[in-house]
Amino acid sequence: MISFIRGEVWKSGPDFVVVDTGDQGIKVLCPPATALNLRVGDPVFLFTALIVREDSWTLYGFAEEDQCAMFDLVQTVTGIGPRIALGVVASLSPTDFADAIISEDLAALISISGIGKKGAARMVLELKDKVVATGEKGTLGSRTKRAQTWRLAVGTGLASLGWTAREAEAAMDSVAENYPELLAQAEPDVGELLKASLRSLDRS
């Protein structure tokens, strides 16, 4: 898993930057506000999420860690992929997004490109138990951040070993159910979780 990228902006566009890390240039897709704020030659540090598909590996970058956690969280909603998830991050701050989910503010969610009334309702239904209230606003729960982090890391590892996305999801669901003690740690051991996922796949 690639948790962050650091280097110098080699090239930039309306929704991406190419980061010169010293020995290679890596293209990172970003929210427009982040990409447009960076110029060629600027030092850059971005929190990242790697999306692995059968035909591509795409890196998404965010100025704030909470934005990255939000990007991962939104993709757990049925029917939502990275393109729409990036649009959500571009439209709402993590706090405003969590507040919209908690208060069931469908209008705020529908204002996001690619999200209709049914999609907004589904988002509230599937995410309401994954955000927590903090004062008058909401925030992404630290527990949720840890959950999305280990699933992304383990899912990437399983994909690199040749398992399909469906097989990886089933294995990780099994691990979450059968190994709660591994997930209860402040910093879950991704290596142990990957081993447990592989054992689950071997038994299937």
What are the CA-CA distances from residue 21 to residues 38, 77, 146 (Å)? 15, 33, 27
- Rg (C-alpha) for the chain, rounded Å, is 17
Is the pLDDT higher at 121 or at 180?
121
Domain boundaries, the chain: 4-62, 75-130, 143-203
**Per-residue pLDDT for 2 more than 90?**
no
Q: Write down the pLDDT at residue 189.
A: 81
In 30-134, where do the E strands start and end?
43-53, 56-62, 131-134
Evaluated on CA atoms 14, 15, 20, 23, the torsion sign reads negative
Please give the pLDDT value at position 159: 75
Instruction: Reply yes or no on whether the pLDDT at 184 is more than 60.
Output: yes
What CATH number labels 75-130?
1.10.150.20
Instruction: Give per-residue pLDDT as tens, 138-172.
Output: 455 444 555 556 776 777 777 778 888 778 888 88
The matching CATH number, chosen from 3.60.21.10, 3.40.50.1820, 2.40.50.140, 1.20.1510.10, for 4-62 is 2.40.50.140
Q: What is the pLDDT of residue 147?
A: 53
More confident site: 124 or 132: 124
Mean pLDDT, residues 181-197: 79
pLDDT tens sequence across 19-53: 999 889 999 999 999 999 999 999 999 999 999 88
User: At 53, is the secondary structure helix, strand, or coil?
Assistant: strand
Task: Return the pLDDT at 149.
Answer: 62
Mean pLDDT for the chain?
Answer: 84
* Local structure of residue 130 (DSSP, 8 states): G
Q: What is the pLDDT of residue 88?
A: 95
- Break the chain down into helix, strand, coil percent, rounded to 5: 50, 20, 25
Q: pLDDT band for position 186 (50/70/90)?
A: low
